[in-house]
Amino acid sequence: MTQTRRRGADLEQAVYQATREILNTEGLSQLTFAKVAAKAQTSKPVIYRHWETPFSLALLAIQDKIKADNHGQLDQVVLTGESLAADLLLVTQRFTASMDAFGKTFMESWFEGVSHDDSAQLKQMLAKVRKIDLNAIDRVLERAVTRGELTGTDLPEKLKLLPFEWLRYRMLAKESIGSAELRLLVDDILVPTYLHRLGPKN
């Protein structure tokens, strides 16, 4: 009987597929060459011959997926909005949608492989931090009200947390955070945003 034996691009595809499945279900920390080989129905040496590390395999598997379903290069969205706001909504919607291919697999991976207990502890910790962040902003807003710059402190929490979340992201991505970034954040983002909601001449 003719024992079929995959090779080349064929095999590569099977490996990438298997890799993504593991990433989605167990996360990056659980991605091992042995598991990939098993799931792709091949053997360890094959994987070791072709790829350096589980991490680089993960990157390639995700890039492969992105290439494959070109489902929404973000800059190819057809813009049909009748206003800036409408167009922006289209773009951000498409962005979150296509994050399923890239971001979800890719970013969540980092946090998978953390036990249930640990995850709970982490959540609790983040909740504590969030409360502190909110307090800090509230005090700033109250002072602004006293000064007459704002008419109230009633902002959605998401808005109040925006600066911290943005800065945390930049830290994570190792983007620079200096006085230039902070000024931009305050003068061009936060103040206009707050004034838009709570400005005196609304």
Restricted to residues 149-168, the positions that interact with a second copy (CB under 8 A) are 149-150, 156, 158-159, 162-168
The one among 16, 33, 51, 106 contacting DNA by CB under 7 A: 33
Q: Which does residue 8 bind out of a second copy, DNA, none, counting CB within 5 to 8 angstroms by kind? A: DNA
Question: Which of 6/164 has CB closer to a second copy?
Answer: 164
The one among 3, 7, 52, 127 contacting a second copy by CB under 8 A: 52
Crossing angle (nearest 10°) for helices 157-172 and 116-147: 120
Instruction: Give min distance, CB of 12 to DNA, in A.
Output: 8
Query: CA-CA distance, 104 to 7, in Å (whole number)?
Result: 30
Whether the CA torsion 179, 180, 181, 184 is positive or negative: it is positive
Interface of this chain with a second copy, residues 8 to 27, rule: CB under 8 A: none
Q: Which does residue 184 bind out of DNA, a second copy, none, counting CB within 5 to 8 angstroms by kind? A: a second copy
Q: How far is CA 142 from the centre of its chain?
A: 32
Token pair recorded at residue 82:
């009748």
Give the max Cα distance, the chain. Answer: 86
The one among 38, 64, 87, 151 contacting a second copy by CB under 8 A: 87
The one among 5, 49, 147, 201 contacting a second copy by CB under 8 A: 147
Q: How many CB atoms lie within 10 A of CB 193?
A: 14
| Neighbour-count burial for 12-37, b at 16+ CB within 10 Å, e otherwise | bebbbbbbbebbeeebbeebebebbb
Please report whether residue 32 would count as binding DNA according to CB under 7 A: yes
**Residues within the interface to DNA (CB under 7 A):** 2-8, 11, 32-34, 41-46, 48-50, 54
